[in-house]
Amino acid sequence: MPLVIAEYLRHLATRCSRMSRDCHDQVVSKELQIVSVELVEKAEALETEYAIPGSSGGGVADPRSTDVICANDDDDDEK
């Protein structure tokens, strides 16, 4: 359950960050950005506290992963 809460906190952080970009009031925009950072920090703390010990993912890729893999097909093969 805490990991679900962490995911929700990250969702709220994203919403706050987007609202801060759209907000025309500089004070409100800055406060939304601060709240966003605090939410992410709390989510990270929950994830760290409730992480499964000894688990490194078991070699299974997370389908929600944001990793980007790039293949460089430029002139690497030419000599």
Q: What is the distance between the terminal CA atoms of the chain, rounded to a whole angstrom? A: 55
Residue 34 has a CB neighbour count (10 Å cut-off) of: 12
Q: In sequence order, what are the residues at sequence separation of 6 or more whose Cβ sits closer than 8 angstroms to the Cβ of residue 39? A: 9, 10, 12, 13, 16
- pLDDT at position 4 over 60: yes
In the structure, what pLDDT confidence band is assigned to residue 3 with cuts at 50, 70 and 90?
confident
Report pTM.
0.64
Boundaries of every domain in the chain? 2-49
- pLDDT at position 30 over 90: yes
Cα 11 to Cα 31, 36, 78: the distances in Å are 17, 10, 46
State mean pLDDT over 4-16.
Answer: 95
User: Considering the chain, what percentage of its residues have pLDDT values greater than 90?
Assistant: 54
